[in-house]
Structure 1
């Protein structure tokens, strides 16, 4: 028994979920679910098994101590509660937790009920080989978009889901004879389930004018460079190119940035081909002034025709009134309307809650704070697009 065993009670279940590793903050949604689940278990009539509590892995400890606690909890827990999400099947630590727990299950499968799967967020494709999930049943239990969506939007339905998970935990704790495992059973193998599409990735596209073009009134040449990727509309002390800032925030959110590209070059490369460019979530950083360029406007309007659309759009907007001639203020309003109309035609009406990403972002700090919102929008739209493609390919040609 490790020294830490004397400091905390063995948990009855282990909560396995994907979260940004190395973050100094835990996932508030998972923490709330964990608290609600323990509350639902505590409210049940007294049972011989006694109090049922669960282990929630989180940040705040050094790696060695955290690893020891995870190993001990996995070795002693009677049930593994899995919060299924697209990220879960791309997370090496989730993969290793799953393997460590499965090593304790009996060969005849009688203890399979000790693994309690929860649809936490909507999946965009089937689970990897070796993961037995009845996704239709999960959607019926936890809603099409998962329990996290229920927690955010439908509290009553969410609590029904919590109680069903609590019932499954009690069944595992009281009915299944699962012997403790080895505390060293937590593998160091870094490879998650193979051949499963990655959603924790991002392409950043930039549609901006360059100093090689004639800049219209209101464009400050100091904002621009010869490359759109170096567009720098915010010039606070220590400011950096917008795409570089977005990429840094994405990486801090445990997102792999596949590429940072000029939107126009990327769309030209994709035009006329039948193969998709790299199919991952995409973020477009849009310079409003670029829409006054007919060529760029056509590229943006045509990008959606073969479903290679950017799926999240951020529109930095700093109308420096001191540098804009009076006569152009009407043009500024026309440009604002052109931006909204163009995006609505090219990408569809904005999802409620994300309009401010298109409406104008006044400074670098606000931009950085909104990037995680854009990442969620990009991921959700990518999942929907992937589901639509999968459905179309399964139906075949009509």
Structure 2
């Protein structure tokens, strides 16, 4: 057996939560998920699997420094598989394992452009704004696995029987990605000792993402005759669709919620400059929300803009349509407005996510708006993160293995609710 055969194909990095005395490892949820994933990795591997294919530590992980066998595994594995949760990014052992593995990547990347062979999995949902700077460059978009995985993580999918198909599909995708990137990139072994300069903490979030809140609404100056002027002001940013039940403009309400979610809210109106910027934005400047007055769709210029926007792939900009107190004209009829929305936003109307459908069907109250917005922000942020990072090749696509030289450093002798088991 050669050097490459004796190394783990993947290393599962997970945070430590004490398991009660009457529970056995064989019955733990993490144990089942790991072995289900392991069996799929073995099935997708082209080469004959030689043990150990996977590595995970089952005993108490609260001790520092890590045991020698853990250091040896993380410094020799092909792929790191961190199980993201809020607890993961607060765990000293997880930070140390990430730091050890990342050192191997950085040493090679100094000589060659290398995609870090890291395949994150979600244990329990984590907001993009909470992901540390170290992890922010790793391709990560759980939505592409399906909305159930994004909303519940592996822990939720494995715990709820009705999510069994989604659970199996998620493991298939993860296994294919582990095999795909592990077959393309081979990092040389690192040093099998733990030194004091290895970071045992994550640095914290990379900083507040700017999140644009784009308002498209009438003003008191261009409002069509016969419409109630009270929800409108001299700027689209003053639009208050929930007047008189709310005293705040919709932009002000949205900005307050966005800041509480950890983002830097930036309010703009959908003028020609903003719209042309969206058309040219192939690389995202940041996630965003387009908050649209549905009665604006009767305006030919606005209708043309909205239809053109819908035809673009800008998934990091999510659309919200407040529909508060309506007038008595035929154009304010609910069915009429919803027909306009489906016509102008036909592509987005076909999305199957419940939160997206609710946002496009006309949000009736400010309370509903406040409930839906955080879910839209999460989707926009994940799509933004996915678009701005280097996407992995499609699973299963043929690719040649990149065998990297051994850096001198390695020759000189020198990742819903938290659960009660393990993340």
Distance, in Å, in 2 between the alignment partners of 1:134 and 1:215 is 46
What is aligned with 1:27?
none
Equivalent residue number for residue 203 of structure 1: 212
8 Å Cα contact 2:213-2:267 kept in structure 1: yes
Find out whether 1:369 has 2:377 as its counterpart: no
Deviation at 1:290, TM superposition (A): 0.9
Query: What's the counterpart of residue 43 of structure 1?
Result: 27
Q: Distance in 2 between matches of 1:388 and 1:82?
A: 18
Q: Are the aligned partners of 2:321 and 2:362 in contact in 1 as well (CA < 8 Å)?
A: yes
Q: Secondary structure at the match of 1:312?
A: strand
In 2, Cα distance between the equivalents of 1:97 and 1:266?
A: 48
How far apart are the structure 2 equivalents of 1:14 and 1:245?
38
State how far apart, in whole Å, the 2-side matches of 1:359 and 1:190 are: 40
Deviation at 1:303?
2.4
What is the alpha-carbon distance in structure 1 between the residues aligned to residue 303 and residue 155 of structure 2?
38
Q: CA contact under 8 A between 1:83 and 1:119: conserved in structure 2?
A: yes
* Inter-partner Cα distance in structure 2 for 1:271 and 1:108: 39
* Closer/same/farther in 2, CA of residues 277 and 235 from structure 1, 3 Å limit: farther
Higher alpha-carbon deviation: 235-244 or 333-342: 235-244
Cα distance between partner residues in 1 of 2:278 and 2:246: 37
Provide the C-alpha distance between the structure 2 equivalents of 1:131 and 1:350, rounded to a whole number of angstroms: 26
- Which whole-Å deviations, capped at 9, do the CAs of 1:11-56 have from their partners, x for residues lacking one? xx8518xxxxxxxxxxxxxx9xx989x9672538xxxxxx95667x
Residue of structure 2 aligned with 1:259, choices 241, 263, 266? 266
The 1-side partners of 2:242 and 2:332 are apart by 23
The partner residue of 1:282 within 288, 299, 309 is 288
The normalised TM-score by structure 2 is 0.51
Instruction: Report deviation, 1:299.
Output: 1.2
Q: Contact 2:283 / 2:388 at 8 angstroms: preserved in 1?
A: no
Q: 1:276 to 1:329 in 2, by over 3 A?
A: closer
1:300 paired residue number = 306
- The 3 A distance-change label for structure 1 pair 337 and 82 is same
Aligned residue number for residue 15 of structure 1: 15
Matched, 1:231 2:208: no
Gaps of 5+ in 2: 1-12, 29-56, 75-80, 106-116, 176-191, 395-423
Q: Of 102, 119, 125, which aligns to 2:121? A: 119
Question: 1:213 deviation in Å?
Answer: 0.5
Say how many residue pairs are matched: 295
TM-score by length of 1: 0.54
- Aligned pairs for 1:129-208 (under 5 A) are 147=154, 150-151=157-158, 154-155=163-164, 158=167, 186=200, 190=203, 201-208=210-217
Q: Which has the higher contact order (CA 8 A, sep 6+)?
A: 2
SS in 1 for 2:317: coil
**Distance in 2 between residues matched to 1:14 and 1:309, nearest whole Å:** 30
Q: Secondary structure at the match of 2:290?
A: strand
- CA distance in 2: counterparts of 1:82 and 1:149, whole angstroms: 17
CA contact (8 A) 2:208 2:264 kept: no
RMSD: 5.7
Shift of residue 276 of structure 1? 4.3
Q: What is the distance in 1 between the residues matched to 2:277 and 2:138?
A: 36
SS at match of 1:222: coil
Q: Which runs of 5+ in 1 are unaligned?
A: 1-12, 17-30, 45-50, 56-72, 110-114, 166-177, 393-398
Paired residues of 1:75 and 1:180 also in contact (CA < 8 A) = no
Alpha-carbon distance change, 104 to 206 in structure 1, aligned in 2, over 3 angstroms: closer
